[in-house]
Chain A
Amino acid sequence: MRRITTAIMSTITVLVLLFSYRTSLGATAATASDTMTTPDEPGSNTSTQTGASATPTTAPVTTPSAAPTTSTPDPTASDSTGSTSTDGTFAGDSVPTRFGPVQVQVTVAGGQLVDVHAIDYPNSDRHDQRINAYAIPVLNDEALQARSAQIDAVSGATITSDAYIESLQSALDAAHL
């Protein structure tokens, strides 16, 4: 079951990457920035890579360029409002995974992906489980002002690919795919 869950989560990742939600970028006041101007010795490597690109290392997850097409509508049609025209529940095409085809149903509300639901399991295990893989964590930092609560990225201890889909960073990425 765990392998199927991984496959489904990877499928969901693919579908999440197909959605492009643009949050309206409010004009955040530029405050004093924390720039480091003293140069340290560069540990940098500046040599360029040559050669053909290699195949991705982690097997279960695909990159956006390999994403299969689905029948879901493109929600980027209107990006100025909260994209309410794209709200609803959509069934995607069956997405091939290495365990067989998986069909996923997604629910969009207020322009946000709020639920992902696998409705077609590849083998005889046809339990109708809800997959809450795309959990959108709540930002709960008291220091944040509601007006300027815009974070671009999160720094934390190394997160693995498996944990990414439930991470805050994945929500931040999904907003601008």
Chain B
Amino acid sequence: MTQTANLTTVAAPPKRSFVAFIMGIPISIHVRGPRARDAGVEAAVERAFAALRLDDLLFSTYRADSEVSRIRRGELALASADRRIREVARLCALANDKTAGAFSAWLPDADGVVRFEPTGLVKGWAVEGAFGTLVGDLDRFGPHDVLINAGGDLHVNCRRTDTPDWVIGIEDPRDRGRVLRRLQLRTGAVATSGTSARGRHILDPRTGEPVRAELLSATVVGPCLTWADVYATAAFVHGRRALSWLAMVPGYGSLLLATDGTVLTTGA
């Protein structure tokens, strides 16, 4: 007499998504786990959004009264600015060094004057910080998985062991809504750089001119969103040459889509 194993299908844990519009971009947070729909989790997510709004008040170049705007107008010295701005400036200098100048926070304005412009680093950095705090906040509710998507820059974390990997689609810039590649991640960050939806050009800081793009997009995967974001931007500036540089960055992988449709990858 044979006994068949009685396989019980375990229901997937509850999942909830939250969306807010901050820094001019849509920010989605997904939480997966037994308490995902609880008020306590919602409160923690709201705190994450609040932290991002505070950073927007400090850093937004679209707000005339932000400290960064005042720095750009020469009304406030960087040395006297909020601690978080000074931290960002320090990271920008480091990023400039690590990317051989392809990333810089000193960029020419519309009128050609070079000013402090940390936006390229602030986004990933602010999101990474809020995300890290959120992950810590959720620990009190038991193991949960979290994903944040800030307008295309993602950070994920899994505390559960009974859930599938987060599946992230890399958008095909030639056909939005079409996925170029999928990648599966439990912990880490994904950042994609390319011609923005508004068609705003990415400047090459070494020349001050818009990048003559050899790439349609550059996606970088790694442990920290701050650096994934910086490297993706720098890769877009470097073009196809970014491949050999990215291949030597420990812990980070990349996917580059060239203008001729070729897909180049490192680290995965």
A45 (CB) vs chain B CBs: closest residue: B129
Interface stretch among A88-96, A113-121, A122-130, A151-159? A151-159
Complex CA–CA separation, A33 to B167 (angstroms): 10
Contact A54 B54 (CB under 8 A): yes
Contact B91 A43 (CB under 8 A): yes
A39 touching B21 in the complex, CB below 8 Å, given contacts A45-B84, A151-B167, A155-B192: no
B25, B186, B251: the one within 8 Å of A161 (CB): B25
Complex CA–CA separation, A158 to B60 (angstroms): 15
B177, B185, B250: the one within 8 Å of A38 (CB): B250
Complex CA–CA separation, A57 to B55 (angstroms): 11
| B38 located at the interface, meaning its Cβ lies under 8 Å from any Cβ of chain A in the complex | no
Contacts of B10 in A (CB 8 A): 27
7 pairs across A/B with beta carbons < 8 Å? A58-B24, A137-B178, A141-B180, A143-B181, A144-B179, A169-B26, A176-B17
B152 to chain A, nearest CB (A): 5
Question: How many A-B contacts at CB < 8 Å in the complex?
Answer: 265
By size class, the interface of chain A is 35 or more
Contacts of A27 in B (CB 8 A): 9-10, 12
Contacts of B55 in A (CB 8 A): 49
Find residues 185-208 in chain B having any chain A CB closer than 8 Å to their own CB.
Answer: 185-188, 190-198
| A71 located at the interface, meaning its Cβ lies under 8 Å from any Cβ of chain B in the complex | no
Contact A34 B227 (CB under 8 A): no
A43, A143, A160: the one within 8 Å of B226 (CB): A43
Annotate B169-184 by CB proximity to A: 1 below 8 A, 0 otherwise.
1110101111111111
B58 to chain A, nearest CB (A): 10
Contact A156 B222 (CB under 8 A): no
A168 (CB) vs chain B CBs: closest residue: B177
Find residues 130-166 in chain A having any chain B CB closer than 8 Å to their own CB.
Answer: 137-141, 143-144, 150-161, 163-164
Contact A153 B30 (CB under 8 A): yes
| B51 located at the interface, meaning its Cβ lies under 8 Å from any Cβ of chain A in the complex | yes
| B115 located at the interface, meaning its Cβ lies under 8 Å from any Cβ of chain A in the complex | no
Contacts of B184 in A (CB 8 A): 31-34
A34, A55, A56, A144: the one within 8 Å of B253 (CB): A34
Q: Which B residues are closer than 8 A to A by beta carbons? A: 9-10, 12, 15-26, 28, 30, 46-47, 49-51, 53-57, 60, 62-63, 83-84, 87, 91, 94, 123-126, 128-130, 132-133, 147, 149, 151-154, 163-171, 173, 175-188, 190-198, 217, 219, 221-224, 226-227, 230, 249-253, 268
B59 to chain A, nearest CB (A): 11
Contact A173 B19 (CB under 8 A): yes
Taking each of A30, A44, A53, which has the highest tally of chain B beta carbons within 10 Å of its own beta carbon?
A: A44
Complex CA–CA separation, A32 to B185 (angstroms): 9
Complex CA–CA separation, A54 to B69 (angstroms): 18
B124, B181, B222: the one within 8 Å of A40 (CB): B222
Contacts of B178 in A (CB 8 A): 137-141
Taking each of B126, B222, B230, which has the highest tally of chain A beta carbons within 10 Å of its own beta carbon?
A: B222
A17 touching B219 in the complex, CB below 8 Å, given contacts A49-B51, A153-B149, A155-B169: no
